[in-house]
Each structure stands twice: as C-alpha cells, then as structure tokens.
Structure 1
Amino acid sequence: MKVILSAINAKFIHSNLAVRYLRAFTEKLQYNCIIKEFSINDRREKMLEEIMKESPDIVGFSCYIWNIDYCTSLAKLIKLINPKIKIIYGGPEVSYDCVKFLEENSGDYVISGEGELPYYKLINTEIEYRKNKISLDDYLSSLKSIGGLCSKYENKIMFNENRESIDMNNIVFPYYENDNLENKIVYYESSRGCPFSCKYCLSSITKGVKFLDENRVKSELDFLINKGAKLIKFVDRTFNCNPEFAMDIWNFIIEKNVDVTFHFEISADILTDEEIKVLNRAPKGRIQLEVGVQTTNFEILKNINRHVSFDEIKDKVKKVQKSHNINQHLDLIAGLPGEDFESFKNSFNDVYSIRPEKIQLGFLKLLKGSSMRYEAKKWNMVYSPYPPYEILKTDSISYHEIVILKRIDEVVDKYYNSGKFNNILKYFLSRFNTHFDFYNELGNFFYNKGYLNRNISAIEYYRVFLEFNEELLKEDNFELKEIVKYDYLKFNKKRWLPDFLIRERVKSEEKIIKDKIKLGEIDVSGNYHIEKFFVDIQKFKDTSVLDKKRGYIVFDGKSEREINLFNIKF
C-alpha cells in the first residue's frame, strides 16, 4: 500500500512538521509512505501531476488556513481521476466541524486533533483490510474505535470524538538522515499546549502543556545543526512557560559554536530575571524571540482573556534589549473585540517606542473552534467566510479603518522590519506628531501612487522618500538625499548610484585617504569604498542633528565597519 502525505506550504523555504511526524510514527508499518511538499505558489496542475505519478492508494493532506482550498480542490481532482484513491485530511483547519467538512468535500477521513495515534491506527487498519486479514465488519468496527477519526463509508459519516492524547516522548523524531534541510526553515517542537486561554487561539482549547525530555531535545537539535539548518523555528506556543526547561535549552544552544539562529515564541511578561541573564549571554544572532503583545489596552486584553499589563512586557523586553544580542519581534493584532482605531494607534505607538527589531501587524482571524468565533455576534464582528477568516469590521472599527491599517502594515514591514532604512525613517519621524501618523501618511502615499498594486524595484523603494518629502512636506531634499545615499550604500552595491542621488568625486582628496590606508593610519580591509557626503552622517545617527559638513565615509566591505572622516583636512 502506498500513501502520499502532501504538504502545501505558504512559502518554498518552509517545511511541514506534521507530515514528517506521521511518517516517522508509522515507519514500522508495512507500507510505502512518501512525502510531497509544495508551496501555494506552485500550479495546482503540477501538484496533481506530482501526486498522481506515484499511483497512490491513499493521499493525505495537511490542512491549514492558507492551503485548505488547494487541499480540497486537489482531493476532488484526484477522486475524479481515480475514485478508488482514499483521501485523508488532518490539521487545525479540519479538526473542528469535521463531520460537516466531510459532508461538503471529496474525501474519506478526517483526523481531528493530534494525528499520530489515529493515523497509525487508521493506516494499520487499511493495511489489514487490504491484505484480507480482517472482514468488512471488523474494518468498519475498527474505524469507529479510532479516537478523533471521522470517516465516510457509503455516504455515511462516523465520528469518534474521544481523542487520545499522546505522550510527547512517544513521538518519533520526524527528520531523517537523507532529508535536505538546507535553505529551509526547519520547524521543531519541544512542547505541546499552552498555559493561557486567549480566545482567538486554538491552543487555548487543549488544556495543559506537555514537554519532551530535555536530553532528547538536545540530541535532536544536534542532529538538525549537523544537517546544516540555519534557522530552527520552535513551534511551541509559549516556550518559556517552564523557566527551568527554557533555560536548560537556551544554555545548551548558547554554548554551541555554530552559525544557527533559533526562533522562540514567548510570553515576555513571565520572563524571570534568571532567564534574562541567560539570554544576555547569547551570541548575537543566535536567538530571536517573538512576543505576542496584541494590544497595550488592558481593557481590550481582558476581552480576549489575556491578563497582562504592557508595562510588564515593556520592562522585560527592554531588559533583554540591553545586551543588543537578541532580535525581538513584537506582534500586534488589529480588530480585537472592543478596540477602536484610536486604541490601536496608541498600541502601535507604545510598541514602536521600544524599538524592537520587528513589529508584526496581524489582523484578527476567527478560526474554526476558537472561542472568539463563538463570540462574534456579541461584538458585531463581521469576518470573511473564506480562509483565513479575517476580520472585516466590528462594532468598534470600520472596514475602511481596517484597510488603512493594512496599508500601514505593508510599509512598516518593508521599511521598518527590513532594517535597511533606519536613518531615513529617523529623518521623517521627527517631522510627525507620532510614529503612527508617519506610517499612516506613508501608507496612504503608497496607495495613492499605486505602489501597493504593483512590484516596484529596490531602487524605487529609496526614491519614493524623495517624492514623499517633496509632495507632502514641501521641503528641500538636499539633506534627505545625503541620508538616503548613506542608507542605500550601506545595503547595496557601492560602485554605482541611482541618478536621483549625488556623487562627487575629488581624486586629490580620495588619494589622501588612500595613502593613509596604505600607511595603516586608517584600519580597513582591502575591500573598501570611499564616499563623499555633505552632511555629518555620524552626528545625525548619534544626535539626530543635521549638520551640513563635508566629509568622507570609508565602507569596509569585509567587516561592514565604517570609518567616518569628517574632521580630516585636505
């Protein structure tokens, strides 16, 4: 018997953990299990061809809000080609209302909840029945006994809701020696469940948290490191809910002499001083943290069953920041019950004031099975009936205001989160009352220019600031052009400048600098670039003061060091 486990990921660089768990957990069964991974950018016809060329007996789909339409449409096409091929669905998008889902879609089985045990029993039952080891009655009886399995036979649907919980240490490590994990985001799970009960999250439905043995975690991380993984993303919902466990793993990866980044979702408010001391020891770039703020309005937090003050989060985030070694991503959610536009604006400004490495704006999704979906009427929430079930409006925020926030999200992600426009942003932020006001104006500018509806080049992302400055602020562009030139050269090829920027070459002055480099008076590698500026860039970076002053910056191409020469005499 041949089974194809299909994963349709959001991006090519992503990998699917769920199908690997299923394959590993059933590796001792006598069947052929093949994983096929695609992305939502692949053509549906190509996915179908890749699946059907294997002549499978069963096809399984790992279902999420971003891929469910692909899963159901592929299942229908597979059934049209060969009705004998059985279809299994699993994952969070089908774990709730699975009877209705199976009534409305082509397929034979839905696994609701944790998949390892029911999948094992289902595949074992299929093997025995196909080998005539059990009768049809025994086959159907066996299906009925599998906890969490919803099955369809001759258009009759059976569902056993009594799900079985698996001991984490009975789960089989899902990665194999021949897996190619290079250039992929590798997902890893050291715990399941969440101690909190946020109404918008599916993790709140299952009570309690269970953990893998720490020594097993370390051994498996060693395997992934040795396989060349560069980003290992823990999918644990609240990694630091057990401080001793978290510190043990963090200490382990901190001691490693490797070029790997580990990503963790945490609750910053429950970080202990001891945990922060551990994090402060981490090599720069080794650890990045994702912190769910959602809103800084305490009254709104109570509406979603979160009980934490922003001051607590801010205090812990700033303590982690002090060592400048940890990337922190802070999340906000627009469209929460009771939160209006002004409240979200305040939340944005509060989070921005911390200056985390990334600010991630999300929009409330009313997921199947979540408490929030059941409360939709209470808050007059209108949400899309199509995945990902995103909020359209509430009694506190209008659709138009949601659209404005989406524009802000796009420019924040491009400009702030990239980290490539820091000095340009600094120049503009001082000209607006609040950080939100600036990004609001920039988002509207992008929209009115049509830049949100088409791809613009990397160069245009710099040029747009000169347009923005000229058309909205009506200011002289001279100082801004120098700042744009600096940010552009810092992250792009230095031999050439776009025509909207000014480059002045004075060979006699450059020769003086080159002679000093040869004599060792200026410490720089052989791969360097000399650029003349008419604004003291370092002074602006340090004090925000724009001082018109001639000088040079030497960019070291190897070490990314910069030597500022604004006091040199020519």
Structure 2
Amino acid sequence: MVNLYLVAASIEKSHLAFPLGSLAIYVSLLDDKEIEKETSLVHTHYYIDRDDPEAIARTLAKKNIDIMGLSIYLFNREWMNSFLKAFKTHSPHTTLFAGGPETIAHPDELITLGCSFLILGEGEESTRVALKKWLNKEIIEGDGIYTKESNLATISYPNDLSKLHSVLLHKSVNLKKYSGILWELTRGCPYHCAFCFESKGTRSVRTYQFERIEKELDAIINSKVEHVFVLDPTFNMSKQRTVDLLTFLVQKSPSDIHYTFEIRAELLTTESARLFGELYCSLQIGLQSSNVAVLKGINRLFDPILFKEKIGLLHTFDVVFGLDLIIGLPGDTYESFLESIDYTLSLRPSNIDIFLLSLLPGTELYDRKDQFALDYQTHTPYELIESDSMSKTDIQKALLVKEACDIFYTKGNAVMWFHIMLTPLQLSASRFFILFASFLVEEHISSDDDTYEVQDMFINRIYKEYRLSHLLPIVLSYIEMHQGISYLQETGENPVVALSYEPEALALLDNHSVTWFYDRYKDKGKEKEYYLYASNGQIFFNVLDN
C-alpha cells in the first residue's frame, strides 16, 4: 500500500481557512477506485502563523510517505518553499508534486526544489492521470502535467463540472471542523483583467448543476457553518441565474449564515439588489481605479456614472458592500490614485480594501511588464516597486494613505459618520487621509492602539486646527454613538457611551448637516452616559443615573 499525503497551509485559523483546492483533489482521488485500492490517502492542513514548516517537515518525514502533494498559493509560497527544502532533506526518497496557482508562476523553480511533476490549472482530472502513471511506473505526462522533460504543458480546465466530486458532500470531509467555508458555484470568468490569472484563461464560465447546489446548501446548514464565502469571481454575471440562486438562498438559509459575494456593480439590477438586501450578506466589488484610461489599459471598461447609479441600488436596499482599489496599475499616478480614493469614498462603502499591485507570473500584465517599465519583486508577493507612471516615492506615499484609510475608515467602522464629520472641514477624503497619515507618524500610533481613541484624538486636533471647536461636542457625540453601536454589533458586549445630546436628536444628523444641528441645538445639554443593548433586532439606549 502506497502512503500518499496531501499538504495544505492557510495563513491562520479563520473563517477563510478552508483548503478547498487540496480537498477537491483529496475527494477526487478517494473516489477513484484504482487509486483508492493502491494508496493510503491522508489530507493534512497547517497554519502559517503557528506551524513551523521545518518542524512539520521533520515530523512528516518519519511517516514513511511514498508520495506527497503540496497545494501552493501566493500566500503560502514561502512557507511551502521552506517545508519542501526541509522535507526533501529528511525524506529524499519521497516523490513530491505540487498544484495551485504558484505552479503556473514558477514551474521550473519548483522542479529545481525537488518536485517531480506539477499540476497546472484545475487538477482533479490531471492529478488522477499523473498518479496512475506514477503507480504504474509509466512516464508522467498529459494535459495539465508539467515535468522537467515535458515543460510545455498547457493549463487544464475540466469542461464538465458534473463529473467532479463535491467537497461539501463527501463523507471524508467534516465541515463542522471549520468556522467558514469556501463555496464554489461556478468556475471561470468571462472577463480578462490583465492583472488576474483569468486573463489567460478560457473566458468561459462553467456552472454546477442546481441539484448539486441544493444538496450542498443542506450540508452547509446541517454543519452549522456560519460564514460562507462564494468563490465565483462574478456571482451576478447571469441575470436570471443570479435571481434564481438568491431567491433560493433567501428562502432556505437560516438567518445566522453570513454570505460574502464578489460581484460586478455594473451588472446589478433592482431585483438582484433587493434579494441581496433580504439575505444576511456582504458584497465585495473590484473597482480597482476610477480612472477610465487606466482601467482600459488592463482590459476593463468603466462608466463612473453608471457605476455610481448601480451602487445606489445597494444603498436603497441597505446592502453591506466593500470596494477594492489597486495601487500602481499601468498609467496610474499618485494623483490619480488620490482621485480614486475620493470617488470611492463618495460611494460610501462599508469598507475599502486597498492593495499594492502584484505582478503575478502567468498573467497578461506580467507578459507586458516591459511595456510599462514595471519593476517588481521577483519573489512572492511579486509587488510593484516602481513604474513609468509611479515612482518609489509615490508608491510609499500611496501606501501611507492606504494605511490611514485602513485604520480610520475600515477598521474604525467610520462609514456611518465619516461624511458628516468631513463636511465641516471642507476637505477631500484623500486630503483628510494624508493628514491622518502624518498624524499616525507624529504620534507614533501603532496597530495596538485603540482605533476609536485614535479617531477621537485626530478629530479633536483637526477640528481645533480648522477653528471648528464649537462643533466638536456634536461631532464627537455622533461618532461616539455609532462607535458604541459598532462595538455592540461586533462583540455582543454592551458598551456605555457618553453623549452631549439625546440619541434621538443625534439621529437627525443622518439627514442634516452638523452646522444645521448646531444652529438648532446650539446650547448642548449636560453630558449623559447611556447603556446600549439589542433586543429583537433593534438597538436601545438606556440613560444611566448619575
């Protein structure tokens, strides 16, 4: 009996730490009668933040493993490199192979490190082919299989998804072990954004049958999983399928399952936005930049007016959503990045995720890197160093703005009050974050400092600098009220907040300006403390006796 191990590694134990890729290979091999008959198959899963790769390698080397497969991604490449080198030293006779996006990025490097063969692309079928050839001592070759001798392999994409085994339905996978799962409803993407692996894909979208999806949702519900990340790169690509799936989820999902979807805002309809609003979910939308020319250069069409109209549908139906931006796309400048920040904030997302461009080997943009003079890290995470439109200095300035936005807006849950606070200052959002970035440096603020306290410190300072001290009791009370609500929703604990005005009065700021409020309530009352609690989906403020 051959000992076969599959090794996966996640960044940390979290809702996202569901090793779907390696589990898909695992169940595919288990259900192949020839392989199942001749092998003892084990799937192992480690966490980068707590599992030392060299120690794991020494432990596994004692298990007399005949063949081992590694699941290698951008986020775990360094861990896997260390593991691979150490394991090869302690167990030189074990055959090693690997799959995952990084096999496409640097196949020759992985062969040099000790892998006998690599699986390129979606590996359920090609891994079975390779293993059968290995078991039968045949030359390992075939669609999606890369070796030192056969180094012109193409990327494999199974056309018929109905032939693939479901990870979520397989008896060998215990979903109850995970706090969150990754759920795949389709494969492929109709777009070809130059920075993405899909830029060289088939541009075809393959869907799983609805019958399978129904069974998988039953398994999710029965496992008590509370966080589901739908992996479809464009969930709302097909109008009718989107409505059908959302209707199904709204009707069947328990209220405590939270879904995360990636969508294209331009494809939103009133009906799909309404259904998203009825489901406990959040959406992530890849804006990347608000510059039409920059986006055109990476094969993305963008109409800022249409985009804003579609985002308005999400606000109409109270849908939580976040927006993504990328620093350093070809043609992007520091100034155009700041314009993207301002446009993004004008849409009032719940969170903004900003990334420095990663020039991923195997993408169209990587092949065109010389055209844009893109200087980048030649190792993971392949981040941009400079380009012909953004210098090293500009990138560092943009990263400081990113950090400021991360802390103040996203980590600080500022969406409900940011624009109310910003308007009296008569500053753009980007200028505000530039000033906040300087404040972080001057005050030696670290990630360990309380975010809400840091927000209050900076608002106190900037309002005084702009001679708006008379508005501080209003602004700080409004912010304190929302900080308390956010804390209650995040932790379930009941905070006490100090407010200079009644909560009912402060709620008027949802629809009126701070100056309007000041004219109406010029004389602030005595500061009172309120105890916050939730009941039947509503939040209540109980005033505490002095």
Same fold (TM over 0.5): yes
Structure 1 window deviating more from structure 2 (540-549 vs 81-90): it is: 540-549
Which residue type is aligned with residue 540 of structure 2? E
What do the CA deviations read for 1:271-326 (whole angstroms, capped 9, x no partner)?
2344334334x14xx122111111111111111111131222211111122021x2
Q: Aligned pair in 2 of structure 1 residues 424, 235: CA closer, same or farther (>3 Å)?
A: closer
Could you tell me which runs of 5 or more consecutive residues in structure 1 were left unpaired when the two chains were aligned.
Answer: 130-138, 494-526
Equivalent in the alignment of 2:225: 229
Q: Aligned pair in 2 of structure 1 residues 552, 183: CA closer, same or farther (>3 Å)?
A: farther
Structure 1 window deviating more from structure 2 (69-78 vs 30-39): it is: 30-39
Equivalent in the alignment of 1:212: 208
Report the Cα offset of residue 473 of structure 1: 5.2
Report the Cα offset of residue 243 of structure 1: 1.7
Tell me the distance in 2 between the aligned counterparts of 1:437 and 1:267.
28
Tell me the distance in 2 between the aligned counterparts of 1:483 and 1:55.
63
Report the Cα offset of residue 105 of structure 1: 1.9
TM-score, normalization by structure 2: 0.86
Contact 1:147–1:164 under 8 Å retained in 2: no
Q: Aligned pair in 2 of structure 1 residues 53, 484: CA closer, same or farther (>3 Å)?
A: farther
Structure 1 window deviating more from structure 2 (227-236 vs 30-39): it is: 30-39
Whether 1:246 and 2:239 are equivalent positions in the alignment is: no
What do the CA deviations read for 1:392-422 (whole angstroms, capped 9, x no partner)?
2222222222222222222322332245445
Q: Aligned pair in 2 of structure 1 residues 365, 532: CA closer, same or farther (>3 Å)?
A: closer
Whether 1:2 and 2:23 are equivalent positions in the alignment is: no
Whether 1:77 and 2:70 are equivalent positions in the alignment is: no
Report the Cα offset of residue 218 of structure 1: 1.8
Whether 1:561 and 2:539 are equivalent positions in the alignment is: yes
C-alpha RMSD of the superposition: 3.0
Q: Aligned pair in 2 of structure 1 residues 555, 75: CA closer, same or farther (>3 Å)?
A: same
Q: 2:127 aligns with which of 119, 132, 147?
A: 119
Equivalent in the alignment of 1:16: 19
What do the CA deviations read for 1:504-540 (whole angstroms, capped 9, x no partner)?
xxxxxxxxxxxxxxxxxxxxxxx98876532455544
Q: 2:258 aligns with which of 257, 261, 267?
A: 261
Alignment of 1:403-552 (within 5 A): 403-418=396-411, 420-421=413-414, 425-426=418-419, 428-430=421-423, 431-452=425-446, 455-457=448-450, 460-462=453-455, 464-465=457-458, 468-469=461-462, 476=469, 479=473, 482-483=477-478, 485-491=480-486, 533-535=499-501, 538-541=504-507, 542=509, 543=512, 544=514, 545-546=517-518, 547=521, 548-550=524-526, 552=528
Which residue type is aligned with residue 403 of structure 1? Q
Equivalent in the alignment of 1:56: 65
Equivalent in the alignment of 2:43: 35
Alignment of 1:201-350 (within 5 A): 201-207=196-202, 208-258=204-254, 259-280=256-277, 282-283=278-279, 286-324=280-318, 326-350=319-343
Which residue type is aligned with residue 116 of structure 1? E
Which residue type is aligned with residue 550 of structure 1? K
Structure 1 SS opposite 2:347: coil
Q: Aligned pair in 2 of structure 1 residues 254, 553: CA closer, same or farther (>3 Å)?
A: farther
Equivalent in the alignment of 1:391: 384
Q: In terms of Rg, which structure is larger? A: 1
The alignment of Structure 1 onto Structure 2 pairs a total of residues equal to 514
Could you tell me which runs of 5 or more consecutive residues in structure 2 were left unpaired when the two chains were aligned.
Answer: none
Equivalent in the alignment of 1:507: none
TM-score, normalization by structure 1: 0.82
Structure 2 SS opposite 1:219: helix
Structure 2 SS opposite 1:67: helix
Report the Cα offset of residue 173 of structure 1: 0.6
Which residue type is aligned with residue 128 of structure 2? Y
Tell me the distance in 2 between the aligned counterparts of 1:15 and 1:198.
26
Report the Cα offset of residue 81 of structure 1: 0.5
Structure 2 SS opposite 1:120: helix
Tell me the distance in 1 between the aligned counterparts of 2:494 and 2:154.
66
Contact 2:120–2:155 under 8 Å retained in 1: no
Write 1 or 2 for the structure with the bigger share of helix: 2
Which residue type is aligned with residue 102 of structure 2? E
